[in-house]
Structure 1
Amino acid sequence: MTKPPRKPAQPLLDDAEAPLRSRPRKKRDPAQPQLTLDPMPARIDPCLALLKPRPPKGRQWAFEVKWDGYRLAVHIEPSGVRILTRGGHDWTARFPTIAAEAKRLPVSTAILDGEAVVFDEQGRSDFGRLQQSLGGRGGLRTSWEAVFMAFDLLYFDGRDLTETELTARRHLLEGLVPAGGEDAIRLSEEIEADGDVLLRIACEHGLEGIVAKDRHSTYRSGRLGEWVKVKCIQSDGFAIVGYQMSGVAFGNVGALLLAARRGDELVYVGSVGTGFKADEAMKLRATMDKIKATKPAVKYFGGRKNLIWIKPKLVAEIEYRSWTHDGKLRHPSYKGLRDAADNAAVYKLE
């Protein structure tokens, strides 16, 4: 006897006339209506380069010039462009040409990581010129000559790229910001060369140094070693704890007294008396006189006269060649004041 066909356990459709429907979609952020993939982060803490005495070896390392400026993240969003400093402050209004150029890039949403710089006559990035264009520390000027050197792409048209390896991120960045441009946003190009040779050439041309990046690394916030910087001339932030009066120097500032951090205390590391221009010295003197202190913030045994102590609230960017045997800066030169919005940090002694 033939068996009747088995009845399906459940009909494919309860109602044959009902329309076919897909699964309900997750709710999307109304501020980002076109994004169907990864939500766009409001801010990403930057990946920082670890200072090393010499370039790393190996085929996995890609090299770039080290730029001397302000680290920025350019956010291209549906609502417009935001430019954030390393410390998370919104400086969009201070870089109008960069913001305008970002709007012209052929992308709906993106986060570019890079450095704002101002070039000198030889085409070298100059931190002092960048500061002057912004009106100095705490200034409110807009910089029309600043250029954004883009070296990473963290978000691209709805995709979070921080878990993607550097090689793929660079490939997308180079399609978005072509090499050789002269606009306010330019590509920081990778340089195919041996690290030691590139460092020597960079130093011969008066550049600050080079950066090496692991091609296989993802983007991780902090100073974890996937990025390495090697400097021709050391340059770091030091707290100003006082100054020496002078009747002949610009602004009557003969020298700044500097300190580094060791644990929870400040340690005197010497003085700097070069690198000032007349107008800078006058502004610096006026700023320091507003925060005078009755006693030094460090132990001082230098024997200098005519010293004025101040509260350690100002961080100066200082170039120097090396350290002396007794822990002082060798051949220091003043470059400018770091801005608190740039997450100014005082150099930490080992």
Structure 2
Amino acid sequence: MLATPGVLPSPVGEDRWAFEVKQDGQRAMIYLPGDGTVLVRARSGTDITAAYPELLPLADACGGRPAVLDGEIVALDGQGRSDFERLQQRMGLAGSPARAARMAARVPAHLMLFDVVHLGGRPVTGLPYAERRELLEGLGLVGAAWSTPAAIVGHGAQAWETIRNAGLEGLLAKRLTSRYEPGARSKAWIKIRFVRTTDVVVGGWVPGRGGLAGLPGAVLVGEQLGGQLHYAGSVGTGWSRTERTRLAGLLHVAATDTCPFAEIPPVGGAQWVLPRLVGEVGYATRTRAGRLRHPSWHRLRPDLAPSDLA
């Protein structure tokens, strides 16, 4: 079951919602047949059990009671926050158990459990969220590599303020009466990201495909540091077609054969422009290299010149 992007539910009636911290990791379904084995599948259905050997002891965590659990595998930073860039070192290792075991010692993974969809040999997807949550918490699943983070009923504004001050990515609001809808992106689950904004300089673009042929599929942006333009990421969402068309005209006028970034970005098919267009983008977090994660275009800033950002 997937969440729909949205905003916090109104304070009026917010007691009909539970709020969970939005984790930044790899979604996983955990299958516990009750026979001493465990199977971990990614959202795609791929078997990723071997990539996370620290989760193997989960096989006995339910005391032989069969269960299917929903959760997010994360890697935590020094402050206990999920760090997707750190987790990427653990992903894709299912085909190399020996390397996965070595990486587990260097970058431990942790499973955040938030739902149960099958328990004791019967599906529980038809039960409301509040009842499923009670079943999940009743399992007492707390271990060195897994936990069941709290869900708070009501108090959405306070929860939002807390996660924002803690530098977390966002919240998930889940309607207490909602059933579990496998494969659906449901409005009964709402993901609310804390969006930060920054002003950037456009240094290049990548042509779109299909219906976007001739228009920018994404722009390559940077930030002024030490008198140089440092690549900050690729932004491919946030425009209407009218805005893309207008931006395409500006990009063609500013075309150049010289890359304006201090280091050439690893982007295939990039076309460079003179670094004179300034835009405002929203983003969720940054990587340790300073790249923007989940960036989205907000608007052009014709009132600003690149020199204003130095």
- TM-score grouping bracket, smaller chain normalisation: 0.5 to 0.7
Cα separation, 2, equivalents of 1:68 and 1:332:
10
In the alignment, residue 195 of structure 2 is paired with which amino acid? I
Listed as ranges, the gaps of 5+ residues in structure 2 are: 198-202, 224-246, 271-277, 289-293, 299-310
Cα separation, 2, equivalents of 1:188 and 1:256:
42
Cα separation, 1, equivalents of 2:54 and 2:47:
15
**Secondary structure class of the residue paired with 1:49:** strand
Cα separation, 1, equivalents of 2:154 and 2:125:
26
Give the superposition deviation at 1:347.
Answer: 8.5
Larger of the two Rg values belongs to structure: 1
Structure 1 runs (4+) greater than 6 angstroms displaced: 258-266, 345-349
In the alignment, residue 310 of structure 1 is paired with which amino acid? G
Cα separation, 2, equivalents of 1:99 and 1:87:
20
Give the superposition deviation at 1:259.
Answer: 8.2
Counterparts of 1:1-350 in structure 2 under 5 Å? 47-57=1-11, 58=13, 59-78=15-34, 80-134=37-91, 141-142=99-100, 144=104, 145-178=108-141, 181-220=142-181, 221-233=183-195, 267-273=216-222, 301=252, 303=255, 305-306=258-259, 310=268, 329-330=281-282, 335=287
Deviations 1:73-115, CA, capped at 9 Å, x for gaps: 0011256211000111110000111122243332431110010
Q: 1:230 to 1:175 in 2, by over 3 A?
A: same
Q: 1:200 to 1:215 in 2, by over 3 A?
A: same
Deviations 1:36-87, CA, capped at 9 Å, x for gaps: xxxxxxxxxxx11111133444221011111110100001125621100011
Q: TM-score with structure 2 length normalisation?
A: 0.64
Q: 1:72 to 1:346 in 2, by over 3 A?
A: farther
Alignment-derived partner of residue 21 in structure 1: none
Give the superposition deviation at 1:213.
Answer: 0.4
Q: TM-score with structure 1 length normalisation?
A: 0.57
Give the superposition deviation at 1:155.
Answer: 0.3
In the alignment, residue 74 of structure 1 is paired with which amino acid? I
Give the superposition deviation at 1:334.
Answer: 5.6
Give the superposition deviation at 1:192.
Answer: 4.2
**Secondary structure class of the residue paired with 1:225:** strand
In the alignment, residue 54 of structure 1 is paired with which amino acid? L
Give the aligned CA root-mean-square deviation in angstroms. Answer: 4.0
| Bigger helix fraction | 2
| Contact 2:17-2:153 within 8 A present in 1 as well | no
Q: 1:333 to 1:347 in 2, by over 3 A?
A: closer
Q: Give identity over the alignment, percent.
A: 32
Give the superposition deviation at 1:258.
Answer: 6.7
Cα separation, 2, equivalents of 1:259 and 1:347:
17
Cα separation, 2, equivalents of 1:261 and 1:327:
23
| Contact 2:164-2:170 within 8 A present in 1 as well | yes
Give the superposition deviation at 1:268.
Answer: 3.2
Give the superposition deviation at 1:170.
Answer: 0.9
Give the superposition deviation at 1:188.
Answer: 2.1
Alignment-derived partner of residue 305 in structure 2: none
Listed as ranges, the gaps of 5+ residues in structure 1 are: 1-46, 236-254, 275-297, 313-325, 337-344
Q: 1:132 to 1:162 in 2, by over 3 A?
A: same
